[in-house]
Structure 1
């Protein structure tokens, strides 16, 4: 008799635990979507069999449901608090945050990050996105000149020339007094066989820094060929 009772209790607890992982249709509808993890990165909330999962940095994370609005993410060692009415996720406060509050806002339908707009070759929206980041936080590493330059050359080395040109153009917009940004843009135009724009970019680089050896060398080569 005791064995049967214990078995029944265990089964009930097991079923209760399984049920507690499920989420309501209303919560699923309101919480599903993409959220800004940072200014140029998203974390996506999806549901499988009414259980919440996170797609983040090419990984599928399965948080532990604490209650109907709080989920613990072991990989981040953070508790996510969902506020579906205000379309955001807030990290639960803890000592390691040192008083700083972290909020992930939900992206609007069709909205993308600046780097995603770059991938789509949407120069204007990418530029606007990076400018907004610069206005909010000029020291944000996402819009650092060298980081964008590195991204541009990665595209260039992969023969994704249009994307490279867009990145370098954005860099010249964000850092118009940098000789290096125009030199890099010249390199991209040179690889695209747009000699006129390449020459113009190298001249701009030299107008900012007459000692830019790369621009001097490439400009001389292009003008000698003409």
Structure 2
């Protein structure tokens, strides 16, 4: 507790000695959305020239100004440093807990969205490109786990949102084309939609990869026996 509390009290003391107002140029340069991780955004905005943030459902996080470029965010227990070169980004001030890792949050371009945001906006092609970009940069990124994307699809099926399930399974197939499970899941989405022709096609693809996949084999034989 002391390790967390002491830096906060020190930053609070420093911030009380610093005007919380920011210049118009700084406001224009730093306002915007930053990639907190590959599929999550930290948004910076200003009210009365004082910095605020939107993050994880909290739309009014006030940041304490430490100096002209540094701000403390209590919710993260981190000092955030705004760096303009080579292009605007946020860095977290080094500390023991970081274990030597430099945290770097890039500012997003105007109109740029995360993969989830593209998907929710029904921009499925752009969502796929964004997910593929994550995979190319880091194939082990938790935002593209096959089982997690699959889980999202089954949630759509449970809510009778079959077209959304099909779209998210299309992305999973593109990310993991050698997995029998992603084709089996797509088949179940089509089957739930009562589209037996497409269901059969995807069960066939699942079985072509893994002929011993029992649930796909059972469903396929039942559909083709009719």
Q: TM-score, normalised by structure 2?
A: 0.87
Give the match's secondary structure for 1:220: helix
Give the match's secondary structure for 1:76: coil
The CA RMSD over aligned residues, in Å, is 1.7
In the TM superposition, residue 171 of structure 1 has moved relative to its aligned partner by: 0.9
Which has the higher mean CA deviation after the structures are superposed, 140-149 or 158-167? 158-167
Distance 1:17 1:137 in 2: 41
Gaps in structure 2 of 5+ consecutive residues: 1-14
Q: Does 1:205 align with 2:206?
A: yes
In the TM superposition, residue 177 of structure 1 has moved relative to its aligned partner by: 1.2
If you compute each CA radius of gyration, which structure gives the higher value, 1 or 2?
1
Distance 1:220 1:74 in 2: 58
In the TM superposition, residue 135 of structure 1 has moved relative to its aligned partner by: 1.0
Distance 1:156 1:24 in 2: 50
Residue of structure 2 in register with 1:79 after alignment:
79
In the TM superposition, residue 17 of structure 1 has moved relative to its aligned partner by: 5.0
Map residues 94-109 of structure 1 onto 2, 5 A cutoff. Answer: 94-109=95-110
Distance 1:141 1:187 in 2: 24
Give deviations 1:140-167, integer Å, cap 9, x for gaps: 1111111111111122222222221111
Q: Is the 8 A contact 1:33 1:45 kept in 2?
A: yes
Map residues 5-154 of structure 1 onto 2, 5 A cutoff. Answer: 20-59=19-58, 60-84=60-84, 86-154=87-155
Q: Is the 8 A contact 1:72 1:80 kept in 2?
A: yes
Q: Is the 8 A contact 1:179 1:204 kept in 2?
A: yes
Q: TM-score, normalised by structure 1?
A: 0.87
Q: Is the 8 A contact 1:119 1:163 kept in 2?
A: no
Residue of structure 2 in register with 1:5 after alignment:
none
Residue of structure 2 in register with 1:173 after alignment:
174
